[in-house]
A = this chain, B = another copy of it.
């Protein structure tokens, strides 16, 4: 008699195949689930392998469109970046995959979920927190088979080395609406893309060709250790720069400042696996609200590992060329600036006087 049903996040690789076998030996029915979020993978082979190892059912699901729209786009709006460098590409995949796995578990009446994320990694936490949040009664079966010596987990698969990148740039225009890209155009070739998945895939392709978005860092994990991470985020890096530019152009300074603080918090939640938490829902709502006026187009060039902003335009810009120009004063009176400065100096002068008094006394 079966001990119950487990939905296993299955990759087709050695580790999760071992887990599959082990779970069956322990007496569980095993349903495997493999998500397509854009990675290179032989999905057919994985299906066959799972079946041959005794999986009761095999789910292979294309989550690419929802991954881009529901998970990557909010991260772009947030300018989400962990510890000033990591664009959270792998972190953001986890809640998307686990959400679907939980839907399958509920629909198939499975009480258990399992995965192959190792015991020290952030991915275990991201996976399990999502499961508990969305299916509080679920039981997580964490199996840690003695890992086979495997090839380094992280290689650059999407990006060329900047040194081998083309000697001339590609110039793009990205159009944003409410802080989200709605169209990308290759200026010279006239080609353009306008669905979330197409836009993101195209930016990955262009960024990859020019070696954009590689980092080799030491980062602080949620569990308190430092560890080395090697990442490539070609499309994400282009979007980060383009969004930052259009945002500064269109957003009020003080709104941006508050939103910047919320973005830092959002990045930490995302990194630590709290996408499905009340605070992350709240912060996503606030960030989305902040982006209402972030509309416009950014022109940029991608070249030898770098993204260069060339220009920007917006129907909603707060940038007023006339007001800023030195020649046209409008209703700006230089005298006001003096008053502004003197009032700002009141506090500084008092501070200095007080310090001076104390210095002269002692």
| Chain A interface residues toward B at CB < 8 A | 79, 83-85, 118-120, 124-125, 128-129, 132-134, 136, 140, 142, 144, 147, 162-163, 169, 214-220, 223-228, 244-245, 248-249, 252-262, 264-265, 274, 276-279, 282-283, 285-286, 289-290, 303-306, 308-310, 312, 316-320, 323-324, 326-327, 332-354, 358
Contact = CB atoms under 8 A, between A and B. Distances in A.
A345 B218 contact: no
Nearest to A317: B226
25 contacts: A84-B248, A120-B334, A129-B345, A129-B348, A132-B341, A132-B345, A132-B348, A142-B338, A147-B326, A163-B169, A163-B303, A223-B340, A224-B253, A224-B343, A226-B249, A226-B319, A228-B324, A252-B277, A258-B262, A258-B282, A260-B264, A305-B306, A316-B354, A336-B340, A340-B340
A165 B215 CA distance: 22
B283 A129 contact: no
Contact of A83 (B256, B349, B352): B256
Contacts of A228: 319, 324
Contacts of A84: 79, 244, 248, 260
Q: How many copies does the complex hold?
A: 4
Given A265-B258, A340-B340, A318 B350 contact: yes
Nearest to A343: B340
A70 to B, nearest CB: 18
A252 B280 CA distance: 11
A339 B348 contact: no
Contact of A277 (B245, B312, B348): B348
A226 B324 contact: yes
Contacts of A333: 339, 342
A278 B304 contact: no
A276 B260 CA distance: 21
A85 B333 CA distance: 30
B289 A282 contact: yes
A141 to B, nearest CB: 11
5 pairs of A and B residues whose beta carbons are closest in the complex: A339-B339, A119-B334, A224-B347, A254-B279, A220-B253
Nearest to A129: B345
A54 to B, nearest CB: 26
A305 B210 CA distance: 13
A265 B310 CA distance: 29
A110 B215 CA distance: 46
Contact of A258 (B283, B304, B324, B349): B283
Given A119-B337, A254-B277, A347-B252, A225 B320 contact: yes
A306 B336 CA distance: 42
Interface centre among A227, A310, A342 (most CB of B within 10 A): A342
Interface centre among A129, A214, A223 (most CB of B within 10 A): A223
Nearest to A253: B220
Contact of A336 (B264, B282, B310, B343): B343
A359 B84 CA distance: 31
Contacts of A346: 223-225, 323, 332
Contacts of A310: 216
Nearest to A310: B216
Contacts of A261: 261
B277 A223 contact: no
B309 A306 contact: no
